[in-house]
Chains A and B, each alone.
Chain A
């Protein structure tokens, strides 16, 4: 087996020289990334291999996680040249665990998107079919792990941005409970929704990486002081007596039959392994997408206000004026610096928060959000986890949805509620469509029950071979 195909736990178990792994990954990038375009830039190699549980393991990071003195751009023109003077908390934790920061990956600008087409640096391609999108917004991280360009990766998930690309690229993607992983140093999109999480080749690596990045952070008031268990202890092949909920609202028209069949088969496998299942209802599911787009864009409009050309990043002069005053500079910078989708979301959010509209949009969205959260609270009274498809379809074609933002927004229909409710969710490979494109199975659990996710995901993974399939590049 090629070194670039190894998982982190294989590298650790077999005591593979991490320097050689890194070298192999670099060669892999040199040979395939011109087709995949997942990697924005390599991190400088450290002189020494760090010590710790992830000693020397090369890790890719989504380009919205701050690395000290390293370009961090959110794949946006407006952050041209921005080198944060500090490490995000997850980066410090990785360094402390001895991990090797390997590369920064492509993404939808500021995580605005579901296809990684909204990047200032151009789209990333799905390693399984390079005419298709890898999903998004953590498409670079998912594609890099899938294509053997990184051993493991970090992404961020605001409405499905880890799970949906994991599903499209055939890798494992975990969105932890809101507050499980520190957001300090994650360049904010929707502050009340964002979480950093692992994108890995299998479930075991996901647990390994979460072990390192999880935990309360005094620098993030929204992180929660809940004990971090050793997640690798949940890697057991045993779901006996576990109650699975199947939400009827998720198996609706518009869902791809092949996706539905794959998920049904996955449920059957878990049933055979001893799990119980029942149909449940999440009655407010249909309001999730509109609620999400009000909450997320409102927060984004405020979070992105700081990109104004004053302190860092791009600064543009008004094109047609001899003298450029402050307001001209603001306009010119933001006009040139933000892409189309970023502008759309800033305008949406600004509108939703405006005097006279706030009550009708933002405040109402907050109320619906509470109802959606209650749906899950109610459901988890009778089930241990909920299983759904991650995405209603397999990966779509590049350019297919770029002119139709609404259909693009709907591709996150199964993942968005999770973020509104703050609960954890994982996507694992559960089959392939006729197009030979991966299908993702989503498992959801109650807050801070990542252990349940790992147990179910691991049991399923051990009974299947999907995660071992590699794209031919």
Chain B
């Protein structure tokens, strides 16, 4: 039997505010347990929430960046359930009137994944389980969370992965979150069901939790498709339940069934008076939204003639793309800059495990290096060595090349001697070149380069060799 997979994703993202959603406590991560708390986020009797304006601004900013409609009426509700990390035993959230709705994200294939709603709520604390007891750290309690709920428009684990990556990129571009899943600043739950190919009605869904990376989301969905397919093929019924992904065993296990599901008894939060949001306020926020990744990608391809592949690599990190743009202001050949960034620079970043902002390479130094290669002062091979040294020392390309005598040798007298040696030592290559395989000369050029310690000007070497082998 052929089944169609239907997936909807619920993403929770911490908004990067200085203080919590409803009190003045710091949101800084990794502090001493319960050091960043007050009567409000501890839910002490008598305390009252007051909305953090910054949290509202970031929420609206995100909603706009995700193409959502921002609703002009702000209302909060209480979601009632008991859990020891939830100090009031209710969460301030939004139920029937989310701050925003009806957005979308477009995948590379052109497919549109609709966003049902994005709403603001408060996070709970964290439980720390010990041998005979459990402890609660309320530092996270009251942190502003944005819940972004997609429509069930996703049909494969890969699409889910791409949706999450694109979503994360947008969130990073507008600077509203670290999106660090390990620190819990981004979390994702997935709803998944199967239905017979072509069927209109949705199948019974399961909810997957506890995925700690986008990769885990993809794997958990993959597992669940297999599990549900097997069950359906065996004539079993899918039970609506909440399942936990086990990263070690790579399986999902049932946590609770629908019958045990909560009745959250939502009702309007009486401690926060609903209010209207003025259009002017929304318009002001709109102005702060930078160019988003999709637009930037299109501009790089269209205006700067980058390949789609390179453009995509560059936009994956906003700082990286900003860096690229700064370089293009200093040097006109964007394609060449892109080659350097996506090649040598990216591999330096990877081997050093740093990001572009941490790397000791000013755009003007990178451009200086590119210009040296242009002038023929150094070969590309040597240039890579120079790049490493720029990063190590922070000196300019010019300084390094002259200090270390790395300038390319273009003196024909010296190179002719090396060319003759190479011809003598590689009769086979000489033979094939003479028999018409023009590419064989590249090997000989390489040999000369090697003998010169990389300093020979390959263009000049090629000309000398050709002359000698006529």
Contact = CB atoms under 8 A, between A and B. Distances in A.
Partners in one complex: yes
Interface of A: 64-66, 72, 74, 79, 82, 84-86, 88, 183-188, 190-192, 218-222, 298-299, 301-302, 305-308, 310-312, 326, 330, 350, 353-355, 358, 362
B96 to A, nearest CB: 11
B318 interface: no
B80 A85 contact: no
Interface in B256-272: 263, 265-267, 270-272
Interface string B239-280: 000000000000000000000000101110011110000000
Given A79-B45, A326-B84, A306 B89 contact: yes
Interface stretch (B48-56, B144-152, B329-337, B371-379): B48-56
Contacts of B43: 306, 311
Contacts of A88: 46
Contact of A222 (B51, B136, B273): B273
B53 to A, nearest CB: 12
Contacts of A355: 263, 265
B39 A85 contact: yes
A317 to B, nearest CB: 13
B267 A353 contact: yes
A327 to B, nearest CB: 8
B50 A187 contact: no
6 contacts: A66-B45, A79-B45, A305-B88, A311-B87, A312-B44, A362-B267
A38 B273 CA distance: 35
Contacts of B88: 305-306
A183 B47 CA distance: 9
B82 A82 contact: no
Contacts of A188: 45-46, 271
B37 to A, nearest CB: 10
Contact of A330 (B44, B47, B82): B82
A310 B273 contact: no
Contact of A310 (B46, B48, B50, B136): B136
Q: Which of B88, B271, B273 has the most CB of A within 10 A?
A: B271
A64 B51 CA distance: 24
B90 interface: yes
Q: Which 8 pairs show the lowest CB-CB distances between chains A and B?
A: A305-B89, A191-B270, A353-B265, A192-B270, A187-B45, A185-B46, A66-B46, A355-B263
B46 A184 contact: yes
Contacts of B47: 86, 184-185
B78 interface: yes
A84 B45 contact: yes
Given A79-B45, A184-B48, A305-B82, A221 B272 contact: yes
B188 interface: no
Given A220-B48, A221-B50, A311 B271 contact: no
Nearest to A308: B89
Contacts of B80: 301-302, 305, 353
A179 to B, nearest CB: 9
B42 interface: yes
A218 B267 CA distance: 24
Contacts of B44: 84-86, 311-312
A318 to B, nearest CB: 16
Query: What is the predominant secondary structure among interface residues of chain B facing chain A?
Result: loop
B51 A311 contact: no
B78 A218 contact: no
A221 B271 CA distance: 7
Contacts of B263: 354-355
Nearest to B51: A221
B267 A221 contact: no
Interface string B56-99: 00000000000000000000001010101001111000000000
A64 to B, nearest CB: 8
A298 B267 contact: yes
Contacts of A330: 82
B39 A86 contact: yes
A64 B46 CA distance: 8
Contacts of A298: 267
B21 to A, nearest CB: 13
Contacts of A218: 50
A355 B261 CA distance: 12
Contacts of A307: 45
Most chain A beta-carbon contacts within 10 A, residue among B42, B47, B272: B47
Nearest to A218: B50
B199 to A, nearest CB: 29
A86 B41 CA distance: 13
Contact of B271 (A191, A312, A326): A191
B84 A310 contact: yes
A187 B48 CA distance: 10
A302 B47 CA distance: 14
Nearest to B265: A353
Nearest to A186: B46
Contacts of B270: 190-192, 222, 299
A307 B89 CA distance: 9
A220 B47 CA distance: 9
A219 B45 CA distance: 14
Interface in B86-136: 87-90, 136
Contacts of B42: 311
Interface in B152-180: none
Nearest to B263: A355
B463 to A, nearest CB: 79
B46, B89, B266: residue with the most chain A Cβ atoms closer than 10 Å = B46
Given A308-B82, A310-B84, A350-B265, A302 B90 contact: yes
B49 to A, nearest CB: 7
B46 A222 contact: no
Nearest to A110: B45
Interface in B263-313: 263, 265-267, 270-273
Given A184-B46, A186-B46, A305-B88, 7 more contacts: A185-B47, A188-B46, A221-B51, A221-B271, A301-B265, A306-B87, A353-B80
B84 A82 contact: no
A84 B46 contact: yes
B147 to A, nearest CB: 20
Contacts of A65: 46
A219 B46 CA distance: 11
Contacts of A301: 80, 265
A191 to B, nearest CB: 4
B48 A219 contact: yes
A74 B136 CA distance: 26
A220 B39 CA distance: 13
Contacts of A191: 270-271
Nearest to B136: A310
B271 A222 contact: yes
A72 B263 CA distance: 32
Contacts of A302: 78, 80, 90, 265, 267
Contacts of A84: 39, 44-46
A330 B45 CA distance: 17
A79 B265 CA distance: 25
A358 B263 CA distance: 11
A187 B78 CA distance: 17
Contacts of B84: 308, 310, 326
A82 B48 CA distance: 18
A88 B267 CA distance: 26
Nearest to B264: A355
Residue from B88, B136, B265 having most chain A Cβ neighbours under 10 A: B265
Contacts of A305: 80, 82, 88-90
A319 B49 CA distance: 36
A350 B273 CA distance: 22
A361 to B, nearest CB: 11
Contacts of A326: 84
Nearest to B269: A191
A350 B271 CA distance: 18
Contacts of A306: 43, 45, 87-89
A285 B263 CA distance: 33
Contacts of B272: 221-222
